[in-house]
Amino acid sequence: MRVYLNDLEEGDEILVPVVNEFRRYKILRTPKISTKNPSNYVPVKVAFHNSSITSKWRSFDPSKEDFNDTHSFDLNYKMLWLIKKGEK
């Protein structure tokens, strides 16, 4: 299901299209509106699978919850697809 940044909460898992693939992210912090530009959100802290950390011979199965890195990403104006709603 397609969602927007203001619908996301901590614990949600999303798919984001990046260049020629989909990336699976888990939201670690609820998105907040920017104080400098109220029409945008600040970069969101997410967990993701970084294949450069693991062996390049290991195949990655996106259905597994294998998040091995965290980073803050700008998800403004991106198409977001909800995979799993976080548990409260």
Q: Count the Cβ atoms, other than its own, within 10 Å of residue 16.
A: 17
What does pLDDT average to in each consecutive run of 10 residues of the chain (88 residues)?
91 86 87 92 86 47 66 90 83
Looking at residue 43, what is its pLDDT? 94
Q: Which two tokens stand for residue 83?
A: 């995979």
Residue-level pLDDT at 23: 82
Residue 64 has what pLDDT? 56
Query: Would you say 10 and 84 are in contact if contact means Cβ atoms under 8 Å apart?
Result: no
Enter the pTM of the model. 0.76
Sheet containing strand 80-84, strands side by side = 2-3, 80-84, 13-18, 21-27, 44-48, 69-73
- CATH code at 23? 2.30.30
Residue 74's domain comprises: 2-55+64-84
Counted domains in the chain: 1
